[in-house]
Amino acid sequence: MRELLRAASVIARRDFTAVVLSRTFILFLIGPLVPIVIGMVFAGFTQKISSTDLRPVVGIAMTPADVGALERAHKRLTERMGPQALPRLHAVPLGLPPRTQLARPDSDVVAILSGTVSRPVLTGKPEDLDRLQGDLSLIASAAQAEKVLHMVKVERQEVSTSLGAQSQARLLIGRTGQIVIFFLTILLAGMILSNLVEEKTNKIIEILAAAVPVDAIFLGKLIAMLGMSFVGIAFWGGTAFAIFMALKAPGTVLPDPAVGWPAFIALGIVYFAMAYTLLGSLFLGIGAQAATVREVQTLNMPITMGQMMIFFFVSYTVDHMGSPLEVASVVFPFSSPFAMIARAAQDAALWPHLVAILWQGAWVALIIRIGVLLFRRHVLKSGGRWWKQLFRGSTG
> What is the binding site for other proteins (CB under 8 A)?
2-3, 6-7, 10-11, 14, 18, 22, 198-199, 202-213, 376, 380-384, 389, 393-396
For residue 155, what is the DSSP state? Answer: P
Least distance from C-beta 240 to other proteins, angstroms?
Answer: 32
Closer to other proteins at the Cβ: 80 or 381? 381
DSSP per-residue letters across 355-375: HHHHHHHHHHHHHHHHHHHHI
What's the rounded Cα separation, in Å, for the pair 215 and 219?
6
Q: Which is nearer to other proteins, 207 or 309 (CB)?
A: 207
Pick 11 or 143: Cβ nearer other proteins: 11
Q: How many CB atoms lie within 10 A of CB 64?
A: 9
Taking the complex as a whole, the smallest distance from the CB of residue 21 to other proteins amounts, in Å, to 9
CB of 199 to other proteins, least distance (A): 8
Q: Are 59 and 111 in contact (CB under 8 A)?
A: yes
Q: What's the min distance (Å) between Cβ of 333 and other proteins?
A: 29
In this complex, which beta carbon is closest to other proteins, that of residue 59 or of residue 213? Answer: 213
Nearer Cβ to other proteins (43/204): 204
4 vs 187, which CB is nearer to other proteins? Answer: 4
Residue type present at position 171: L
Give the C-alpha separation, 42 to 34, whole Å: 12
At closest approach, how far in Å is the CB of 386 from other proteins? Answer: 10
Q: Give the 3-state secondary structure of residue 65.
A: helix
Q: What letter represents residue 42's amino acid?
A: F
Distance CA(56)–CA(130), nearest Å, equals 13
Q: How far is the CB of 208 from other proteins (least distance, A)?
A: 7
Q: CA-CA distance, 48 to 36, in Å (whole number)? A: 18
Which residue, 55 or 377, is less far from other proteins as judged by CB?
377
Query: 44 or 396, CB closer to other proteins?
Result: 396
Report the greatest alpha carbon distance in the chain: 96
> C-beta of 36: minimal distance to other proteins in Å?
30
Please state, in angstroms and rounded to a whole number, the distance separating the CA atoms of residues 194 and 190.
Answer: 8
- The answer to whether residues 214 and 199 touch, using CB atoms and an 8 Å cutoff, is no
Sheet containing strand 111-115, strands side by side? 88-91, 57-61, 111-115, 120-124
Return the SS3 of 92: coil
Cβ–Cβ under 8 Å, residues 128 and 57: no
> Is residue 362 classed exposed, middle or buried when 0-12, 13-18 and 19+ CB atoms within 10 A define those classes?
exposed
Find the shortest distance in angstroms from Cβ 231 to other proteins. 19
Residue 59 phi/psi, 5° resolution?
-80, 135
Q: How far is the CB of 28 from other proteins (least distance, A)?
A: 16
Q: Which is nearer to other proteins, 213 or 257 (CB)?
A: 213
Q: Which is closer to other proteins, CB of 167 or CB of 389?
A: 389
User: 318 and 178 in contact (C-beta within 8 Å)?
Assistant: yes
Q: Nearest distance from residue 396's CB to other proteins, in Å? A: 5
Is residue 287 a contact partner of residue 296, using CB atoms and an 8 Å limit? Answer: yes
Question: Of 195 and 394, which CB lies nearer to other proteins in the complex structure?
Answer: 394
Q: Provide the minimum distance between the beta carbon of 233 and other proteins in the complex, in angstroms, as a whole number.
A: 25
| Integer CA distances (angstroms), 289 to 68, 196, 211, 292, 384, in order | 76, 9, 21, 9, 19
CA distance 45 to 66: 35
